[in-house]
A and B are shown apart, each in its own frame.
Chain A
Amino acid sequence: MHHHKYRLIVPFLFPALLLYAVFVLYPYVQAFYNSLTRWRGVSSNKTFVWFENYEKLFNDQIFITSLKHNAQMLVVLPIATLSLALLFAGLFAQAGKGVRGGEFYRIVYFFPQVMSVVIIGVLWQYIYNPRYGLLNGTLRALGLDNLARSWLGDPSTVLWAIAAVIVWQSVGFYMVIFIAGMQSIPTSFYEAATLDGASRWTSFRDITLPLLWDHIRLAIVYIAIAALDLFTIVQVMTEGRPNHASDVVARYMYDVAFTQSQFGYASAIGVVLLVMTLILSVITLRFTQRERLEF
């Protein structure tokens, strides 16, 4: 029987391996090589230049600015998203099934996650519109005219305006993940804590947070990677404007490649992005490592 099994193994694996090799593995390997070349497109020659592209990165002000924006997102997005998601999940799970309209809230909160980032981006572009946008309209209606501004046109607000949209879209997703995690915590823990006079906050801090830690660190890694890979929402909402005040590395790389046709240089930016993603994942997982609590 065993010599027959390769008649299944080979044809079953072949399509997946072929597609993966041609469209995924080969481009990645090629990208590493390209990053060491000067190359402006099909017709022109690739000149091998060693690490010239990488050296160029250090003096590229736009790259450095974009990287700074990714770093800012890296701090703001996890903090804002996790605090809101944990707050909502805590309000849901500890109140048990008792929250009136809980099912409704869960459906609503998660919905933006299902929507295409392009639709979200276009919609919020108009919400932020200085003249007829929903946000300034609301502020004016509340008599807060002096707060109204050109959210996406002002270099001091544009990045945070985009960050707010990202948080708005993803909070529901992480909330559902945390609720799933909380449901595996035995209710007897909470009952015991309540008998001991623990407040809602103390049970949350001393029972929920430690037992949910694996979910939380996973969420941190996901949000951190998303903060580094940021592309679509920025491309749709501002294309990095005004004057790169909202630019991020991946979007800048897209410009360098497909607008400026500097394919070698773009690949170097891509490699740096990959290395940063890997380092960041390892660091996050290391620093959040704790003794696993069995229950």
Chain B
Amino acid sequence: MSAPETTGPAAVSVLPRTEVESARRYDVRDMLSAGVVQLILLVWAVLVIFPFLWMIMTSFKTDREIIFSPWKLPAALQWNNFERAWNEAMIGRYVTNSLIVVTGGVALTLLVSSMAAYVLARYEFPLNKPIFYLFMAGLMFPVFLALVPLFFVVQDLGMLSTYRGLILVYTAYSLPFSIFFLTGFFRTLPTELAEAAILDGASHFRVFFNIMLPLAKPGVVAIGIFNVLGQWNQFILPLVLNPDQNKYLLSQGLAFLAIQQGYQNDYSALFAALTITTLPTLAVYVIFQRRIQQGLTAGALKG
């Protein structure tokens, strides 16, 4: 294997110019013609799409069809699967619970983190840097370490299985990254407008809410999207802090349903539940996909 073969592409760059031409016959480029590129990209696209199509198709079947003919199209569309998922399997309630918690959590996160980030980005005072690094420390720690004490803190506050408990905890755990992101954003904003307003006698509060916050809108939107997805998909925090089944969030409810329907062999309702929860996400994603991709990757790229 170690024989110095010159056919590999690795050899190309060390060859003199004239030999490059002849080496080209072995170029990967020739193999990777446009058709092959398309084929590779298409195969992965199918691998991504197909499981979702199968899920949607299965959600229209009867339990018998799911078990005995997993590959065939449903003989008739079983719309009542969705009805059972929404009502009997309580997906409707779980969705409502999730909407309440995530709306509250994201709104509070944006308010609290933008105020803190603004102060940390724009005002000099002795504890500025230590406080900033204190928040940044939260980015490094795995949430698992905090779970046990957190459970008892929330219990002592009487907030287990409450919306407000989850909202406060979601906000607290969203702060490190949101403050990190928004501090960077506020630093890039021009200062002239704010300074002029203060000279005109506007209060620091009014400068923040009427001038700086509107200027920071792109950053707030990006971190808002990031937090909506992060909090909507949160699983470990509600699993520990939200044990009351009536208060289950969607992620908890689906996991619970998967176990329960597995015992009862009511797969059709489970697949209907999966479909119900996937389609709205898909619709929102397709409409806002550019912003969502930017919002999610901005974190990684800034980090």
Chain A positions near chain B (C-beta within 8 angstroms): 1, 4-9, 12-13, 15-17, 19-20, 22-28, 30-31, 34, 42, 84, 87-88, 91, 95, 99-101, 104-119, 121-127, 131-134, 137, 141, 168, 171-173, 176-177, 180-181, 196-202, 205-206, 215, 218-219, 222, 228-229, 231-232, 235-236, 250, 253-254, 257-258, 263, 266-267, 270-271, 273-274, 277-278, 281
Complex interface: chain A residues within 8 A of B112 (CB): 15-16, 19
Chain B positions near chain A (C-beta within 8 angstroms): 9-10, 12-13, 17, 20-21, 24, 27-29, 32, 34, 37-38, 40-41, 44-45, 47-52, 54-55, 58, 66-68, 70-71, 112-113, 115-116, 118-120, 123, 125, 131, 134-135, 138, 140-142, 144-155, 168-169, 171-173, 175-176, 179, 198, 204-205, 208, 229, 232-233, 235-236, 239-240, 250-251, 254-255, 258, 267, 270-271, 274, 277-278, 281-282, 285-286, 289, 292-293, 296-297, 300-301, 303
Taking A116-B251, A122-B255 as contacts, is the C-beta distance between A27 and B146 under 8 angstroms? yes
Task: Determine whether the beta carbon of A108 is less than 8 Å from that of B286.
Answer: no
* Chain A to chain B: the 8 pairs with minimum beta-carbon distance, closest first: A23-B172, A27-B149, A270-B145, A30-B149, A16-B116, A27-B146, A8-B204, A197-B20
The distance in angstroms between the C-alpha atoms of A100 and B278, with both chains bound, is: 27
Task: Determine whether the beta carbon of B301 is less than 8 Å from that of A180.
Answer: yes
Which of B154, B251, B285 contacts A111, CB < 8 Å?
B285
Which of A109, A117, A124 contacts B48, CB < 8 Å?
A109
- Selected A-B contacts with CB under 8 Å, 20 pairs: A9-B125, A13-B116, A15-B116, A16-B179, A22-B153, A34-B148, A91-B37, A95-B37, A108-B48, A109-B45, A115-B278, A116-B281, A119-B274, A123-B274, A134-B54, A198-B13, A199-B9, A199-B12, A201-B28, A218-B300
Complex interface: chain B residues within 8 A of A231 (CB): 144, 236
Task: Determine whether the beta carbon of B289 is less than 8 Å from that of A42.
Answer: no
The distance in angstroms between the C-alpha atoms of A198 and B172, with both chains bound, is: 52
Complex interface: chain A residues within 8 A of B303 (CB): 218
Complex interface: chain B residues within 8 A of A26 (CB): 149, 153
Task: Determine whether the beta carbon of B297 is less than 8 Å from that of A202.
Answer: no
Distance to closest chain B CB from A172 (angstroms): 8
Chain B CB count within 10 A is highest, among A20, A229, A266, for A20
Given A9-B119, A116-B277, 19 more pairs with CB closer than 8 A: A17-B131, A19-B172, A20-B134, A31-B145, A91-B37, A99-B37, A99-B38, A100-B34, A123-B274, A132-B67, A134-B50, A134-B54, A199-B29, A257-B147, A270-B145, A270-B148, A273-B142, A274-B142, A274-B145
Complex interface: chain B residues within 8 A of A278 (CB): 140
Task: Determine whether the beta carbon of A277 is less than 8 Å from that of B142.
Answer: yes
Complex interface: chain A residues within 8 A of B172 (CB): 19-20, 22-24
Complex interface: chain B residues within 8 A of A15 (CB): 112, 115-116
Complex interface: chain A residues within 8 A of B9 (CB): 199, 201-202, 205
- Chain B: CB-nearest residue to A29: B149
The distance in angstroms between the C-alpha atoms of A23 and B153, with both chains bound, is: 7
Distance to closest chain A CB from B85 (angstroms): 13
Which of A24, A111, A196, A229 contacts B142, CB < 8 Å?
A229
Complex interface: chain A residues within 8 A of B44 (CB): 84, 88, 105, 109, 171
Complex interface: chain A residues within 8 A of B34 (CB): 95, 100
The distance in angstroms between the C-alpha atoms of A5 and B203, with both chains bound, is: 10
Complex interface: chain A residues within 8 A of B21 (CB): 197
Task: Determine whether the beta carbon of B301 is less than 8 Å from that of A132.
Answer: no
Taking A23-B173, A42-B152, A197-B21 as contacts, is the C-beta distance between A168 and B48 under 8 angstroms? yes
Complex interface: chain B residues within 8 A of A201 (CB): 9, 12, 27-29
Task: Determine whether the beta carbon of B147 is less than 8 Å from that of A254.
Answer: yes
Chain B CB count within 10 A is highest, among A5, A218, A219, for A5
Which of B55, B173, B208 contacts A24, CB < 8 Å?
B173
Chain A CB count within 10 A is highest, among B70, B155, B205, B274, for B70
